[in-house]
Amino acid sequence: MALTLKAMEYFTTALRHGNIAKAAGELNIAASAISSAIDQVEAEFDLTLVTRHRARGIQANASGRAVARKCERLLEEYRSVLTEGAELKHALSGTLRIGYYAPIAPAFLPQILDTFLTASTTVALEMTECDNDQAQDGLLDGTFDVALFVAQGVRPSVDFDTLIAAPPYCLLPATHPLTQQISVSMEEIAKEPLVVLNRPVAASYYEGLFQPGARQAPVVAYANSTEMVRSLVASGRGCAILNMRPLTSESYTGAKVVARPISDDLPPLTLAIGYEKSRPRRSVQEFVEACQTYFAKAGSSQCIVEC
């Protein structure tokens, strides 16, 4: 039979008082429970540890005192673990591990962190860019405390909140004739060479926006980063369909791009934030709230293109 923490606490309390009745009074339990705990500890070690005196209480022998010291150290470590766990739960400190599949995360995460990382916050950040599956895997296996990902095809075991539904838009070179229009149609886009963001979820989603056989011009490039897509479009290689936009119209090349809404009724991609909802740490909860606040306010106007 394994020695329980409760038995160790009853045992050490009894030895500290040298009296079963006094130990029972301190712990607010029956004296018989104290006696049973002493018996359990002695049985576990197969040793006599305590001498019971009918009129003078109890007294530990040398072995009993040695066992009591070890039990006290274990109990102290246990209490320390509980204290540190409570501090971790409620303190704005420690490390917050964020995984993100959000191609323009550098455009909005720093702004969110400005409201989350206040002067009283000592949280250290570990931020990892990953694909949609890796973000969810990391959340489920404990690699990440919180993850940003596309909610389409999310796993049933992942708890998440929706941050924003981002409709698709057309990205064009600044000199393209379609930039003179308020919006563009999928029929017009189908006639243009296309640069495709080749990331999990994204590529199949963009392909599915076209009616079968509707596209008249070829895909001229696949790129696995938003900035490469933007740079290729800016240099005139073609147009692209994206969902979320950064805050600048300049590409890495220095050339500009223009975003135009798509007039067709098309399904959006949904950016979600996943985290352990049942018992989140304070730092996780406050980061989630900072994300929700951002996308409820500035995010809608800054990050998406709507008709």
Q: What value does the mean pLDDT of the chain take?
A: 89
Q: What whole-number distance in Å separates Cα of residue 172 and Cα of residue 22?
A: 83
Kindly state the average pLDDT of the residues 155-163.
92
Question: What is residue 89's three-state secondary structure?
Answer: helix
Regarding whether 160 and 177 lie in a shared domain, the answer is no
The confidence band for 194, taking pLDDT boundaries of 50, 70 and 90, is: very high
Regarding whether 100 and 158 lie in a shared domain, the answer is yes
CATH code for the domain in which residue 62 is found: 1.10.10.10
CATH code for the domain in which residue 189 is found: 3.40.190.10
Regarding whether 106 and 23 lie in a shared domain, the answer is no
Two tokens, residue 264:
């067709």
Q: Which of 72, 90, 108 represents a domain boundary (last residue)? A: 90
Contact yes or no for 184/307 (Cβ under 8 A): no
Q: What whole-number distance in Å separates Cα of residue 305 and Cα of residue 110?
A: 21
Higher pLDDT, 300 or 61: 61
Half-sphere exposure of 109 (CA within 13 A, CB side): 18
How many structural domains compose the chain?
A: 3
Regarding whether 134 and 176 lie in a shared domain, the answer is no
Angle at CA of residue 164, ends 160 and 165, nearest 5°: 110
Give the model's pLDDT for residue 95: 85
Regarding whether 118 and 188 lie in a shared domain, the answer is no
Regarding whether 289 and 228 lie in a shared domain, the answer is no
Q: What whole-number distance in Å separates Cα of residue 9 and Cα of residue 171?
A: 68
pLDDT, tens digit (0-9, with 9 covering 90-100), for 270-295: 999 999 888 888 888 889 999 999 99
Helices marked H in the chain — which ranges?
5-17, 20-27, 31-45, 62-90, 105-116, 132-141, 186-189, 202-208, 226-234, 282-296, 298-303
Give the model's pLDDT for residue 91: 58
Regarding whether 103 and 144 lie in a shared domain, the answer is yes
Among residues 125, 239, 255, which one has the least CA distance to residue 186?
239
pTM of the model: 0.70
Regarding whether 32 and 13 lie in a shared domain, the answer is yes
Q: How far is CA 173 from CA 193, 236, 259, in A?
A: 12, 6, 9
Regarding whether 227 and 183 lie in a shared domain, the answer is yes
Kindly state the average pLDDT of the residues 47-68.
86
Two tokens, residue 151:
């909610």
Q: Which of 47, 68, 90 represents a domain boundary (last residue)? A: 90
Give the model's pLDDT for residue 257: 97
Q: How far is CA 165 from CA 151, 201, 230, 270, 295, in A?
A: 10, 15, 21, 4, 10
pLDDT, tens digit (0-9, with 9 covering 90-100), for 240-264: 999 999 989 999 999 999 999 999 9
Give the model's pLDDT for residue 73: 87
Q: What whole-number distance in Å separates Cα of residue 217 and Cα of residue 194?
A: 7
Regarding whether 207 and 69 lie in a shared domain, the answer is no
Contact yes or no for 303/164 (Cβ under 8 A): yes
Q: Which of 55, 71, 90 represents a domain boundary (last residue)? A: 90
pLDDT, tens digit (0-9, with 9 covering 90-100), for 13-31: 999 888 898 999 999 999 9
Give the model's pLDDT for residue 213: 85
pLDDT, tens digit (0-9, with 9 covering 90-100), for 74-128: 888 888 777 666 655 555 567 889 999 877 888 899 889 888 887 556 788 999 9
Give the model's pLDDT for residue 87: 59
Regarding whether 86 and 120 lie in a shared domain, the answer is no
Segments forming the whole domain that contains residue 51: 5-90
Regarding whether 178 and 150 lie in a shared domain, the answer is no
